[in-house]
Chains A and B, each alone.
Chain A
Amino acid sequence: MIHRTRLVFSGSGGQGVITAAIILAEAAVIHGGMNATQSQSYGAAARGGATRSDVILSDSEIYFPEVTQPNILVCLTQEAYTTFSPIIRPGGLLLTDSKFVTTVKNVDAKQIELPIFETVMEKIGKPIVFNICVLGALIGISDMLDPAWVMEVIKTRVPEDFIDMNNRALDLGLVMGSQYKI
């Protein structure tokens, strides 16, 4: 199914942008048998600084490690949207959170705005799983891999008491995203 998918996750430090990218790529490699390269750029500040993480998923070997024209772009802050929306591949998928980003019309992409943060706060009440809900939404929209693989990775990375909360966040995202399936 996947030949080569180029994703850029962007937002600000502390939102879990890099963690989400790593979890997605690890699920693809360890459970999906694909190749994946995850790289990132981030500022000196751990929190509040602009953050970007690139993921390339492929059947074949990946040489150049960075994404110049993502076919999937996720922006979780207005700054990230302003900076990165011009680089999306024409006709690509651009996912934003409606609380943090106001979109503009002149972007050549399929733009999907979802109230991910507000839904997480309303149904779960913990912002810590926002990034996992974003991942769920992305998978719901794109069907790029089996969400069960993502849960397998999360199980190895979070304390046992937090697994259920992450599972609920992933499911919430999947439901939201699947309404916009492409």
Chain B
Amino acid sequence: MKPAVLTGKHFINGDIACAEGAIAAGCLFFGGYPITPATEVAEHMSERLPHVGGTYIQMEDEIAAMTSILGGAWTGKKTMTATSGPGFSLMMETVGLAVVTETPCVVVNVQRGGPSTGLPTQGAQADMMQAKWGSHGDYEIIALAPSSPQEMFDLTITAFNLSEKYRTPVFIMSDEIVGHMSEKVVIPEPEAIKTFSRVAPDQPTENFLPFKPGPNGVAPMPAIGEGYKVHVTGLTHDEKGYPVMSVDTQAEMMERLMGKIRNNLDDIIMTESYLLEDAEVVVVSYGVSSRTSYTAVDMARKQGIKAGLLRLITVWPFPDQIIKDLALRVKGFVTVEINMGQISREVERCAGYRVPSYLAGHPGGAVVPPEEVVQILKEAF
């Protein structure tokens, strides 16, 4: 056995940092189907997991990879898979199954240019809406956007913690640039890493209701083999877990599923501000594009434009209220992202046409140059 936490200073790429974050968070199962540019996550997990008592399985495709991590989670383990656009599309049906069965798991999407097989070796941020709406039906999801290898480590731990706390799939929405970029990653001592595991039921196994929520709206989760009788289904179900085809049961289940995210926004939403206090125009960004945006804000300030940055660490659920509040006091927004308009539409929705909202986008394959952001700031405001 080797240590699960490789305390120290490393120079590693984002994909490997993500895998190390998962192991530090206590992940013990990875269902893999390698795909550029996420392959290194699977590769590293396959090397590391057997040394920490975990299991790596190479599945036959991404559909199986995704279903395997649901099965793994119901045996009581923390589980993960990693993919890119084409695989993310294949996983979508099972994402819905994870949501409705309240199965904690982490799915990493190292985004590349699309649609379809697109640009395998070049970065994009064009799966952001798919992360929110890719599976059918109505649901809330959690998605985090790391901007560096260090955050690939840190936010993978956060993703596991949120997933376990709220019994929901959590997405790490990375991209090829961050995934393949190498930088300094500092891994703390094991005691300094906060990890959270799902709450286990403490009542007798007789008459157990596996989907009866606890005080925070989340039901304690037993593992298969512990003696609790559990029925897990994608059909609308009651607290017992059995299918009930009624409007009332659907309403109750949906309110619980939506509520556990919507009633805990303050706990889930993470953002970072840079020079926002006196800002007249706000650059909104996330992931690798936020790195462009820091540089753009600095360049704009040097040219006398009072720009500030709102960096979304949590992209879903969207921080509606923060944008709405800013819209009351600023001249407008520019969203920087490597797509042709996705999160910019959310910003526009929240700005409510009170102030204008523009896109500094890119069709995919490269980062948005900071000069372009400054140009838009100049022309628009």
Q: Is the interface of B mostly helix, strand, loop or mixed?
A: mixed
B-chain residues with CB within 8 Å of residue A43 when the two chains form the complex: 121
| A35 contacts B by Cβ under 8 Å | yes
B-chain residues with CB within 8 Å of residue A65 when the two chains form the complex: 177, 181, 288, 291, 367
| A133 contacts B by Cβ under 8 Å | no
Q: Is the CB of B11 within 8 A of A64?
A: no
Mask of B287-305 contacts with A, CB within 8 angstroms, 1/0: 0100110110000000000
Q: Is the CB of A41 within 8 A of B184?
A: no
| A148 contacts B by Cβ under 8 Å | no
Partner of A41, one of B9, B11, B121, B183: B121
Q: Is the CB of A37 within 8 A of B183?
A: yes
Q: Is the CB of B182 within 8 A of A64?
A: no
| B122 contacts A by Cβ under 8 Å | yes
Q: Is the CB of B183 within 8 A of A26?
A: no
Given contacts A44-B120, A66-B367, contact A36 B291 (CB under 8 A): no
Q: Is the CB of B11 within 8 A of A25?
A: yes
Q: Is the CB of B181 within 8 A of A36?
A: no
Given contacts A30-B9, A64-B292, A65-B177, contact A38 B121 (CB under 8 A): no
A-chain residues with CB within 8 Å of residue B369 when the two chains form the complex: 68
Q: Is the CB of B370 within 8 A of A39?
A: no
B-chain residues with CB within 8 Å of residue A35 when the two chains form the complex: 183-184
Mask of B279-317 contacts with A, CB within 8 angstroms, 1/0: 000000000100110110000000000000000000000
Q: Is the CB of B291 within 8 A of A39?
A: no
| B198 contacts A by Cβ under 8 Å | no
Q: Is the CB of A63 within 8 A of B121?
A: no
Q: Which of A30, A43, A44, A66 has the most CB of B within 10 A?
A: A66
| B180 contacts A by Cβ under 8 Å | yes
Given contacts A36-B11, A39-B177, A42-B121, contact A63 B294 (CB under 8 A): yes
Q: Is the interface of A mostly helix, strand, loop or mixed?
A: mixed
Q: Which of B239-270 contact A (CB under 8 A)?
A: none
Mask of A20-40 contacts with B, CB within 8 angstroms, 1/0: 001001100110000111111
> Which residue of the partner chain B has the closest CB to A42?
B121
Q: Which of B162-178 contact A (CB under 8 A)?
A: 177
Chain A nearest CB from B30 CB (Å) reads: 24
Q: Is the CB of A63 within 8 A of B291?
A: yes
Chain B nearest CB from A163 CB (Å) reads: 19
> Which residue of the partner chain A has the closest CB to B178?
A65
Chain A nearest CB from B219 CB (Å) reads: 42
A-chain residues with CB within 8 Å of residue B295 when the two chains form the complex: 63-64
Q: Is the CB of A38 within 8 A of B183?
A: yes
Q: Is the CB of B121 within 8 A of A64?
A: no
C-alpha spacing A168/B269, complex, angstroms? 53
A-chain residues with CB within 8 Å of residue B11 when the two chains form the complex: 22, 25-26, 29-30, 36
Chain B nearest CB from A146 CB (Å) reads: 16
Q: Which of B135-158 contact A (CB under 8 A)?
A: none
Q: Is the CB of A64 within 8 A of B291?
A: yes
A-chain residues with CB within 8 Å of residue B294 when the two chains form the complex: 63-64
Chain A nearest CB from B20 CB (Å) reads: 16
Q: Is the CB of A39 within 8 A of B180?
A: yes
Chain A nearest CB from B114 CB (Å) reads: 15
C-alpha spacing A41/B176, complex, angstroms? 10
Chain A nearest CB from B309 CB (Å) reads: 10
Q: Which of A4-30 contact B (CB under 8 A)?
A: 22, 25-26, 29-30
C-alpha spacing A171/B218, complex, angstroms? 62
Chain B nearest CB from A6 CB (Å) reads: 13
A-chain residues with CB within 8 Å of residue B366 when the two chains form the complex: 66
Q: Is the CB of A38 within 8 A of B181?
A: yes
C-alpha spacing A63/B291, complex, angstroms? 5
C-alpha spacing A65/B177, complex, angstroms? 9
Chain A nearest CB from B274 CB (Å) reads: 10
C-alpha spacing A64/B291, complex, angstroms? 5
Q: Which of B183, B288, B292 has the most CB of A within 10 A?
A: B183
> Which residue of the partner chain A has the closest CB to B370?
A64
Mask of B319-351 contacts with A, CB within 8 angstroms, 1/0: 000000000000000000000000000000000
Q: Is the CB of B184 within 8 A of A36?
A: yes
Q: Which of A36-64 contact B (CB under 8 A)?
A: 36-44, 62-64
**Residues of chain A at the chain B interface (Cβ within 8 Å):** 22, 25-26, 29-30, 35-44, 62-66, 68
Nearest first, the 6 closest Cβ-Cβ pairs linking A and B are A26-B11, A63-B294, A38-B182, A64-B295, A39-B181, A63-B291
**24 interchain pairs (CB within 8 A)?**
A22-B182, A25-B182, A26-B11, A29-B184, A30-B9, A30-B10, A30-B11, A35-B183, A35-B184, A36-B182, A36-B183, A36-B184, A37-B181, A38-B181, A38-B182, A39-B181, A40-B180, A41-B121, A44-B121, A63-B295, A64-B291, A65-B181, A65-B288, A65-B367
